[in-house]
Amino acid sequence: MVLIDLQKVLSTLGLVSSLAKPIPLVGGLAGGVLDSTGSVVSGVQSGGALNGLLGGAGGGLIAAVNFDESESNSTSISSSDPSYTAASSDDGNVSVQDSCSITPYSPPSPVLLEPFAPYDANKALIYRYRQQQSVNLGSWFVQEQWMNPSLFTCASGNKQAEFDIANGWGSVDNARQVLERHWDEWITEDDFKYLAGVGINTVRLPIGYWSLGPVYCQGTAFESVSAAYVNSWPRVVRAINWAEKYGLGVLVDLHGAPGSQNGQAHSGVSDGQQNLFSNPTNIQLTINILTYLTQQLVKVNNVVGIQILNEPSNVDSLPSFYTQVLGVLRQVSPEASVFPFYLNDAFDMSRFADYISTRKDFVVLDHHSYFVFGDANSQATPANQLTASLTPGQGGLSQQIIGASNEGRRNIVIDEFSCALSGQALSNSQDQQGDRRAFCTGQMESYTNATAGYSFWSYKTENCASDVNWCFTSAVGNTLPSTFYSYPKSTIQAIQGGVASSASQDPATDTSFLSFGTSSPSSDNDYSPPTTDDWLAAMGASDPEYDQVTEALATTEFDSIPDSPASASPSSSIEDDSDAVSANYDDSSMTTTTLWPTSTSTPSTYDTGALAQAAFVAGSRVDQATVPSSRQQLTKKRSLGLTSLPQRAFLVASQLQRHRFVARSARAHSRKHSRAIKRDGSESAVVYTPEQAAIAKGYSDGWKAAKTFAAFDNSRLGFTGQFISDALNAMDNKIVSGDEGFYKTWFMKGLADGEVQVIKLLAMQAQGPQ
């Protein structure tokens, strides 16, 4: 539960509010309390709730909420759980004694601190920039009572937070054994294998500062119970290595900070106190913890980033806190200077989208989106209206997310969402299961369309078997799709010349991946920023279509391309400085000109009908339960109707009068004064104007990026704006100042066309030998 200005949240998000994870709310705030399946129920005893809200004898807001066990089983106890001993009363009913004993636990083999895989900067880059389909591993290293009630059976105090477990169970050593059993059994290596098998490519791993071990508990509330965490950090490392084994990225999320960043139980304490931002000691302790995490993880291939805080209170000083922390972390190492750090928006997306937009480094905005909480109007909003608000590019909520994404160069993720709806939202539904499914898959499609990723809350709960709203394993195939791949499920092989090669490309040994922004120094002192001119050269070097595109870009007269009638592109919208371009064309009235060299063995025109058929055959191969990628749909609309790749490029370019004017006015001058350069560096008759150079490089880089990411576990580029910005920085001024907009625009066109080629390849593979 988050004590924030509800109206401000509603104003920010429109129809819905985005509060916190599902812990009981006082009736006056949200119309009741929430049961374990995500439905709002009544049963709050007003006296107890009032005392708890005011800090009375109830011991706190959450502890004061009482509800009937028939309406919620979130406090149920499993008598078969081996981690506690219960006593039977005279009438045969099971009751839990105040003094608890446990079944001693020792792991089958000691969990030792493992090394990480050798650092591979190229592989790390793909993990960090790709589109994320993610799941939270909640209540694994940060305990939440509603998710794991049995762990709180013999907890102390309010029995709501991690600290209560560590102080309970009769002794710190008992608590250690209870927690270690949970760490070893709650989620195992098989769970990572399962997630990879359904197309999840990233996990968000919430940890507390106590998870780093006893040293980092000193000077905090956990100091007296630090011995319970003597073996915790090796298990965090083990989790990251399990993920790497199955190709999963890991976002390490600091869910609980010293002093608490929000006063909520999921920050580790249940006293309701937020004592981080006003306490210099706690601020410094938090910076120390984040510095350690950065030192340990910045060169771990599959760590996609570190989240500085989870759901902090939206205090006035939060932006300056972020700035202070980032200033320290960027100095940890050369790799840390370009490492992704995630910042939660404190449920104020607009404020922190503005903040992200002021920074050029790799910082990511994390927004949490829950629809089950809110005022009476929000609770009563029908599910189909909520779903409509998520329609990509059209619904109100979708437009707000797109706005924030555009402002922050697409450095935004929705790293907590669920399928939960209020009872009122489905009260008039004729098909509750269908409406809930449409609502949940609508979220996924909207978030995929507008952002670089999403993460479902959460992977599992103790009541998972009956919980399709909050439990991923039960929701898959019910309220969630059956698979979550970036592309239709298929084996992506090395893409050579537009056809599948005989051997799969191994990202671990391939050297053609991007190299900007990171390096693999032989020692900490052996480091120099990369200055590679063509950091994607190897991918596509043997691709005839790619070669012909760049040749056409270099030699074609802009004014030789016939203009399309103005009426043919009523909805075109092309901005030189935009990171994304959207255009829809009616090509029925266009005169097409073949730009392929006549001597090539490649057909002079592309069979657009065959390409369209191939693309849609690939789409038809997708499990009907799989959410289609909105970018794939946009790619089809934009690209399939034109004749050839370079022709598609220049038919759009001819719409830009600036291009035509620049080409005409600069061509003669450039041919007199510019050195003719081939791609291999030797002199030739081909001359690039600065604008042509930016266009050619942008298009070819986007084209090859699509193929490079596809070759790595079915991935797609997600953080497009950051990727383009970092690529430009790595070019060492190879793009003339003022022409960056050309590069950006044409990168996005090349990326879209490259993805069409990947789809075509998938269709060819699906059809088999012809």
Using only C-alpha atoms, what is the Rg of the chain?
28
Number of domains in the chain: 2
Residue at which a domain ends, from 486, 508, 539? 486
Q: Does position 100 have pLDDT exceeding 70, yes or no?
A: yes
Give the CATH number for residue 234: 3.20.20.80
Q: Does position 744 have pLDDT exceeding 60, yes or no?
A: yes
**Is 169 contained in some domain?**
yes
**Is 745 contained in some domain?**
yes
Question: What pLDDT is recorded for position 566?
Answer: 27
pLDDT range class, residue 254, cuts 50, 70, 90: very high
- Lowest mean pLDDT across 7-11, 225-229, 362-366, 554-558: 7-11
CA angle 229, 234, 240 (to 5 degrees): 125
Burial-class residue 736 by CB neighbours within 10 Å (0-12, 13-18, 19+).
middle
What digits encode the pLDDT tens for the residues 155-196?
999 999 999 999 999 999 999 999 999 999 999 999 999 999
Phi first, then psi, for residue 458 (nearest 5°) are -140, 180
Spatial separation of the C-alpha atoms in residues 371 and 14, rounded to whole Å: 11
Question: What pLDDT is recorded for position 99?
Answer: 53
Q: Which domain holds residue 448?
A: 121-486
What digits encode the pLDDT tens for the residues 692-713?
889 988 998 999 899 899 989 8
Question: What pLDDT is recorded for position 770?
Answer: 57
Spatial separation of the C-alpha atoms in residues 413 and 454, rounded to whole Å: 6
Average pLDDT over residues 599-608: 28
Sequence-ordered list of residues with C-beta below 8 angstroms from that of 251, at least 6 positions apart, any chain: 134, 202, 203, 204, 205, 303, 304, 305, 306, 307, 342, 415, 455
Question: What pLDDT is recorded for position 259?
Answer: 98
pLDDT range class, residue 546, cuts 50, 70, 90: low
Q: Which residue has the higher pLDDT, 174 or 539?
A: 174
**Is 327 contained in some domain?**
yes
Note the helical H segments in 491-644: 544-555, 608-620, 630-639
Stated pTM of the model: 0.73
Average pLDDT over residues 87-91: 38
**Is 67 contained in some domain?**
no
Q: Does position 404 have pLDDT exceeding 90, yes or no?
A: yes
Residue at which a domain ends, from 447, 462, 486? 486
Q: Does position 571 have pLDDT exceeding 80, yes or no?
A: no
Question: What pLDDT is recorded for position 379?
Answer: 80
**Is 414 contained in some domain?**
yes
Residue at which a domain ends, from 425, 451, 486? 486
Q: Which residue has the higher pLDDT, 282 or 766?
A: 282
Q: Does position 380 have pLDDT exceeding 60, yes or no?
A: yes
Task: Using a pLDDT cut of 90, give the percent of the chain over it.
Answer: 53
Is the previous residue joined to 150 through a cis bond, with omega within 30 degrees of 0?
A: no
Q: Which residue has the higher pLDDT, 527 or 439?
A: 439
CA angle 733, 739, 743 (to 5 degrees): 90
**Is 453 contained in some domain?**
yes
H/E stretch holding 303 reads strand 303-307
Cβ 264 vs Cβ 247: under 8 Å: no
**Is 250 contained in some domain?**
yes
- Give the pairing of strands 33-34 and 40-41: antiparallel
